[in-house]
Amino acid sequence: MTLEAHDLARIRGGRTLFSSIDLRVGAGEALWLSGANGSGKSSLLRILCGLSRPAAGTVAWNGADIRRAREDFHADLFYCGHAPGLKDDLPAWRNIDVSQRLSGHAGGIDQAARALALFGLEHALHLPCGILSQGQRKRVALARLALTPRPRLLILDEPFSALDKDSVAALHALLEQHLDAGGSVVYTTHQDLELAAHRLHRLDLSEASCSLP
Amino acid sequence: MLAALRCIVERDLLLAWRRRADVLTTLFFFVIVISLFPLGVGPDPALLRTMAPGILWVAALLASMLALGRLFAPDHADGTLEQMALSTEPLTVIVAGKVLAHWLVSGMPLVLLSPVLALQYDLPLPSVLVLFISLLLGTPVLSLIGAIGAALTLGVRGGGVLVGVLVLPLYVPVLIFGAGAVGAEAAGVGVAAHLLLLGGALAASIALAPWATAAALRIALE
């Protein structure tokens, strides 16, 4: 279970955001992408999960190009971007249920309730996401991480932002547990919060080009 | 795969129910446009019967186009489209589910209303029946072709106008065969050819449009 990227580059509006990026994230490993605003962290995450195409370079999951082995890669992937991916008009449980069913697993209100409880949102089970606060919406989005089976690779864009102290702790514990179980995490955060992974890599995109061993 | 299709249809129907006003706006537009013409051109039954197929079909076409903005744009804005693109199910199947739900809430009501609205044009019963069948075959084609346009213009400034420019020319064959079928019935000519061509267009659209739409969505997400 390895995510590898070689010679990645991203150009936006004629400006090179980053170039010559090599990285490798194996089982039980985490990669923390850091850098100033606009350095291309979110763009790199979108490339790593296959939503965006790089100007140069390749991304492979278990040795297979993620664009060619899309189905296998998506079965192992969980991505949470800037937008929470929730429908305001649907109750929290229904949003989670749809995600689970689109991942090819059986959904249901019970499983969604357990996931929401992990982030202290039992009371929001039947509430439309539109009436929840920004932080609560983020917690609903992240509650999908607590569903089983959990994908092997988690790609998270600012997962700790807008969360309260308890939710940060819950998410931190969940990510540690995921890494202990042999999963992988790629994430960005501006918070001074490091995962005590077996191997934690840090990639600073403020530099023009970077590489990891 | 069928489970994903069902999931998306259920979800979009539920969202449409929660946003009933959006759906009713399209229906109201359809009713108003069709009802305005008899008031404008006068009560001559022969003239109304001649104009009816074209007016009813053009109104259906414009109403169908009005609803295209709701097909992908809300999902794009709130990030659910990204989640769909990254799901284990093929995006083509998800698109098919979304288009089916879109037709159920914005196309099928037009089909069901059309016989009632046709009464304003003094259409004989056999012509009303042909109109109903032609809309039943044609409106899904409008949704399927429209989905390609909606996906191509996703996130583009002025996309609402652009989608019209893109899809209206593609709607022309459907309009010709749909309105032509009703005209042929009124003229006493066989309608089978028109309806078969509409059926062929529907079959081709079902086969090709979800695939093309999925490809356009992937480009839009980049």
Q: Which residues are CB-neighbours of A14 under 8 A, at least 6 positions away?
A: none
Q: What is the pLDDT of residue B143?
A: 96
Q: How far apart are CA A30 and CA A8, in angstroms?
A: 19
Q: What is the pLDDT of residue B210?
A: 96
B82 chain-A contacts, CB cut-off 8 A: 51, 79, 81, 83, 85
Cβ atoms A163, A134 nearer than 8 A: no
CA–CA min distance A79, chain B (Å): 8
Please report which residue ranges of chain A form alpha helices under DSSP H. Answer: 41-48, 70-75, 92-102, 109-118, 134-143, 165-180
pLDDT tens track for B19-62: 899 889 999 999 999 999 999 988 888 999 999 999 999 999 99
Which ipTM value was assigned to this complex? Answer: 0.87
Q: Domain limits of chain A?
A: 1-76+151-213, 87-148
Say if the Cβ atoms of A51 and B82 lie within 8 Å: yes
Q: How far apart are CA A112 and CA A100, in angstroms?
A: 9
Q: How far apart are CA B140 and CA A46, in angstroms?
A: 34
Domains held by chain B: number: 1
Say if the Cβ atoms of A52 and B221 lie within 8 Å: yes
Q: What is the pLDDT of residue A15?
A: 83
Say if the Cβ atoms of B86 and A49 lie within 8 Å: yes
pLDDT: is B40 or A211 the higher one?
Answer: B40
Q: What is the pLDDT of residue B71?
A: 92
Backbone phi and psi for residue B114, each to the nearest 5 degrees, phi listed first: -60, -40
Pairing of strands A29-34, A199-204: parallel
Q: What is the mean pLDDT of residues B193-218?
A: 96
Question: In CATH, which superfamily holds the domain spanning A1-76+151-213?
Answer: P-loop containing nucleotide triphosphate hydrolases (3.40.50.300)
Taking the alpha carbons at both ends of chain A, their separation in whole angstroms is 17
Q: Is B1 on the interface with A (CB under 8 A)?
A: no
pLDDT tens track for A13-65: 888 888 889 999 999 899 999 888 888 899 999 999 999 999 999 999 999 99
Mean confidence (pLDDT) of chain A: 87
Report CA-CA distances (Å) from A144 to A108, A118, A121, B80: 13, 10, 12, 13
In terms of residue numbers, what domain contains B131? 2-221
Q: Which residue has the tokens 């059986």?
A: A106
Q: Is the pLDDT of residue A207 over 80?
A: no
CA-closest candidate to residue B209, choices B131, B126, B148? B148
Q: Which of A52, A81, A104 is nearest residue B79 as measured by Cβ atoms?
A: A81
Label each residue of B115-163 as H, E or C: HHHHHHHCCCHHHHHHHHHHHHHHHHHHHHHHHHHHHHCCCCCCHHHHH
HSE-CB for A204 with a 13 A CA cutoff: 3
| Complete edge-to-edge strand list for the sheet that includes strand A209-211 | A64-65, A56-61, A3-12, A15-25, A209-211
- For B62, counting Cβ atoms within 10 Å of its Cβ (0-12 exposed, 13-18 middle, 19+ buried), the class is middle
Q: How far apart are CA A189 and CA B67, in angstroms?
A: 39
